Amino acid sequence: MGCILNDAGGCGTGKPVSQELFPGVTREVLVKTQHRKKEVREQNPADMATRESNVGKLGTRKVQGSAAGNKGRKAIGFPIVGIGASAGGLEAFTELLKHLPFDTGLGFVLVQHLDPQHESALTQLLMRATSMPVCEVTNNLRVEANHVYVIPPNTNLGIAEGVLRLRPRLQTRTPTRSIDFFFESLAQDQRERAIGVVLSGTATDGTLGLEAIKADGGITFAQDDSARYDSMPRSAVAAGCVDFVLKPEDIAKELARIAKHPYVAGQPHEPISPEDDWASLTAREVEGTSRPLAGRGTPRADAKPARGEAEAGRGNAGENGFDKVLLLLRNHSGVDFSLYRSTTIQRRITRRMVVNKQDSLADYARFLREAMPKNSTPFTRTCSSA
């Protein structure tokens, strides 16, 4: 049975989601996960250096990335779903495709761990599961909606301005991290229009990538205990970077729902300027977090108030809903988010609306008001987290 996670790492029952879905995930596992991520950075410097030069070090993204992200989203205009899998992944992805409508308007990129010494028949196998076009990625291939793209063997895959870029995989003794490589690239290029899915697989590839996607405003999924090999989804859940833990069939249904959400389908996304992103980074630093968490502190003196910018380009319904959300945040947490730029706040509120299945700002304000008495800490995190 699937579950929607809140930003405190729990589900609707109030129990830790990792223990409910994966009984073996304990505090010791959480600590080990953090140690593994540190070891990856320390033991694989060559691979990390290559990834950092292309997509930026996780947690210290430079302001220049904002311009690249704006270009990528403008070039595509629809969300891109990155799907990572390893052992047992073919079965899981086939099941996902079978239940996925052919006209969601999303683009799908599968990064599967493949034998580097042999040609892959994965593309041909997946063609049987969907009526969408399925093709193996070639260099400089632009992503199109309602298409499925499959990584070829012995390569790393990135994306820039909606165009898939191949590069040879580095030959190292450490485990391959091609899923992290693509997810981090996708997060920087598509920002809030990036969606990451981790399916069955061994080891921990994909965890760092999901962290990057969620930090930049995207949506994240992991397969539940239906995974034949659960190390990869288990690692992502333990890291606290997963929004939905579901079986492949339900992941497909949720992707179809997200594609139809008013703030995903057809509504323009306001570009994020380097100055705006600077304000976002400042908010993180004030909170002591490495990734976005709209927080306390003093914004830039030249930053236009979020409420003022919002009122300039919004109808009465949207304006009132936005004001209600900001007022709830201020009254409950003591944080006056209206002093920050609207693009930063809107990006995060929109993400929470999509995750919590709220179609309008007024609905979301009502949802927050009802949730407020239950638990103050998850409420605050739900409101303010990316």
Taken as a whole, the chain contains a residue count of 386
Catalytic residues: 86, 113, 205
Nearest by Cα to 345 from 277, 298, 289: 277
Distance of alpha carbon 195 from alpha carbon 210, whole angstroms: 9
Q: Which residues contact 277 (CB under 8 A, 6 or more apart)?
A: 63, 65, 66, 344
- Which tokens go with 208? 């760092």
Angle between helices 207-215 and 178-190 (to 10 degrees): 10
Is 21 within 8 Å of 229 (Cβ atoms)? Answer: no
Residue written as token pair 């598509």: 190
Q: Which residues contact 144 (CB under 8 A, 6 or more apart)?
A: 107
CA distances from 130 to 135, 249, 359 (A): 12, 13, 29
Distance of alpha carbon 101 from alpha carbon 15, whole angstroms: 33
- Which tokens go with 346? 């809107």
Q: Which residues contact 146 (CB under 8 A, 6 or more apart)?
A: 102, 103, 104, 105, 106, 107, 132, 133
Is 339 within 8 Å of 355 (Cβ atoms)? Answer: no
Is 55 within 8 Å of 158 (Cβ atoms)? Answer: yes
DSSP string for 207-224? HHHHHHHHHTT-EEEEE-
Is 232 within 8 Å of 239 (Cβ atoms)? Answer: no
In one-letter notation, the amino acid at residue 384 is S
Q: In what order do the strands lie in the sheet with 141-142?
A: 141-142, 163-168, 155-160
